[in-house]
Amino acid sequence: MNSIELEQASAFEVYPKRDLCIVSGKGAEVTDSNGNTYIDCVAGIGVANVGHANPSIVNAVATQAKTLITCPGIFYNDIRGQCMRRLIDIAPEGMSKAFLCNSGTEAMEAALKFARISTGKNEFISAMRGFHGRSMGALSATFKYRQEFEPLIPGHHFVPFNNIEKLTAAITDQTAAVVIELIQGEGGVRPASREYAKQVRELCDAKNVLLIVDEVQTGFARTGSMFASQHYGICPDIMALSKAIAGGVPMGAVLCTDNVEAVIGKHGSTFGGNPLASAACIANIDYIVENNLTEAATSKGARFVQRFTANQPALVREIRQTGLMIGIELKIKSKPVLEALMERGILALPAGPTVVRLLPPLIISEDALDTVCDTLLEVLNQ
Ligand SMILES: Cc1ncc(COP(=O)(O)O)c(C=O)c1O
């Protein structure tokens, strides 16, 4: 059996798979089991912002693994404390507390629970096309993927994105929080308007409702700011983080302002805040800051769009880009385009049926990014 057959025979499959077995990665490239290399604009679905096998992460994990791998939340731990401090330091001003977990859906799950317990209210309003994860709480706030799992948690309502009137009308005296992504990732790389983001913050303040911003995909310099909230100039009450938080090591986090009360004894996670992930997270943040990856995302994103739009193919409806979070809306289905890119050595993602999404590592070279751009133009123009 080859590696693909082995996985096929053993997996309780939940993903539609591409016929590719990735065995190693370095920087912005991955290599398959046949020795072919690819420019990786999937990056673990927005995880490998600092690149694959980044030596800073490798060293931090190796050193920590020899010291202490696990330490439950019932004890204090030196590295965990440093990690939480570092997360708060880079977060929008006003964030004062951190809870650590292991994934994006867990971060959202915790965010929703913290909002309920802190406000004593049990309703949430999220955006149509929003994606917040697949566990039952996070799924209740997610627009798609829910039908087969209903009934979900009651009290979750959906309003159109970028429409402040509809959001205002949906708030009741039972609304605990408004839940949004500032740039909807899975929903098609759709940004909130600056005005909308500001109005949502003001509305939540006026109505005494918490604002949960899901930065699982937008975090850690992806959009050209450390967090999209900073790009929009707002401070959420609760922020959910994961994906690129720890250089590829599984981790999630919730950051809160003082508006959110601690919940001792009512939530927890065995692995949350384990020293291995915490050490990777610290090294990851240091690397992003020292190498100015916010600026890299801004300039490389702009470079891509300039090159692409100079020759924009007729099949393109719109390009939506913030930093290195790029969505190209097509007039055709994206799947065949993704397949053609893969044949030419480039891995990219969909975001809905007609959008090609590019989330390359922020350390990608300009040459490699130009290759991605030129290859995509070639595929769309043929
Ligand atoms: C915005 C957003 N929130 C939550 C999640 C869920 O994260 P995870 O897959 O780590 O549970 C995702 C995953 O794509 C996401 O993009």
In this predicted structure, the answer to whether residue 232 has a pLDDT above a threshold of 90 is yes
Question: What pLDDT digit, counting tens, does each position of 77-91 carry?
Answer: 999 999 999 999 999
Under a CB-based contact definition with an 8 Å cutoff, are residues 294 and 302 in contact?
Answer: no
CA distance 32 to 332: 29
Task: Decide if pLDDT at 219 tops 90.
Answer: yes
Beta strands, E only, 147-301 = 156-159, 175-180, 183-184, 190-191, 210-214, 238-241, 252-256
Residue 12 has pLDDT above 90, yes or no: yes
Range of the domain at 151: 55-290
Ligand 1 pocket residue status of 181, Cβ below 6 Å:
yes
Q: Are residues 38 and 74 in the same domain?
A: no
Number of domains in the chain: 2
* Domain termination residue (choose one: 241, 265, 290): 290
| Residue 141 · residue 126 · CB < 8 Å | yes
Length of the chain counted residue by residue? 382
Q: Give the residue from 290, 313, 328 where a domain finishes.
A: 290
- Write out the H or E segment, with its range, that includes residue 24: strand 22-26
Residue ranges with strand state E in 95-134: 97-101, 123-127
Do 160 and 40 fall within a single domain? no
* Ligand 1 centroid – CA 75 distance (Å): 28
Say if residue 169 is in the same domain as residue 254: yes
Tell which of 253, 269, 290 closes a domain.
Answer: 290
The model's pLDDT over 135-175, given as tens digits with 9 standing for 90+, comes to 999 999 999 999 999 999 999 999 999 999 999 999 999 99
The reply to whether 264 and 348 lie within a common domain is no
Cα–Cα dist 300/380, whole Å:
21
Match 């989330």 to its residue by tokens: 359
- Are 125 and 215 in a shared domain? yes
What's the pLDDT band for 2 if we cut at 50, 70, 90?
A: very high
| Residues 61, 193 within the same domain | yes
**Residue 106 region by backbone torsions, left for phi larger than 0, else alpha for psi between -120 and 50, else beta:** alpha
What is the structure's pLDDT at 262? Answer: 86
Residue 263 pLDDT class (50, 70, 90 cuts)? confident
**Residues 91-127 pLDDT 10s:** 999 999 999 999 999 999 999 999 999 999 999 999 9
Indicate which CATH number applies to the domain containing 149.
Answer: 3.40.640.10
Residues linked to residue 107 through DSSP beta bridges, in sequence order:
none
The CATH number covering residue 38 comes to 3.90.1150.10
What was the pLDDT predicted at 381? Answer: 95
State whether 120 and 224 are in the same domain: yes
Q: State percent of the chain over pLDDT 90.
A: 99
pLDDT exceeds cutoff 90 at 344: yes
Between β-strands 238-241 and 252-256, what pairing exists: parallel, antiparallel or unpaired? antiparallel
pLDDT reported for residue 188: 98
What does the alpha-carbon distance between residue 172 and residue 324 come to, in Å, rounded to a whole number? Answer: 37
What pTM was computed for the model? 0.98
Which residue's CA is the closest to the ligand 1 atom numbered 10?
A: 104
CA of 312 to the centre of ligand 1 (A): 31
Task: Give the rounded distance of the alpha carbon of 334 from its chain centre.
Answer: 21
Q: Is 104 in the pocket of ligand 1 (CB under 6 A)?
A: yes
d(CA 277, CA 115): 25
Helix (H, G, I), strand (E, B) or coil at 105: helix
Res. 213: pLDDT tops 90: yes
Q: Among 112, 229, 242, which residue has the most ligand 1 atoms within 8 Å of its CB, making it the best to mutate?
A: 242
Same domain, 204 and 285: yes
Does one domain contain both 142 and 207?
yes
**49 and 59 fall within a common domain:** no
Residue 110: alpha-carbon gap to chain centroid? 16
Amino acid at 195: E
pLDDT at position 16: 93
Considering the domain architecture, whether residues 109 and 16 belong to the same structural domain is answered as no
Q: 216 CA to middle of ligand 1, Å?
A: 6
Query: DSSP labels for 253-272?
Result: EEEE-TTS---TTS---SST
Residues 35 and 60 in one domain: no
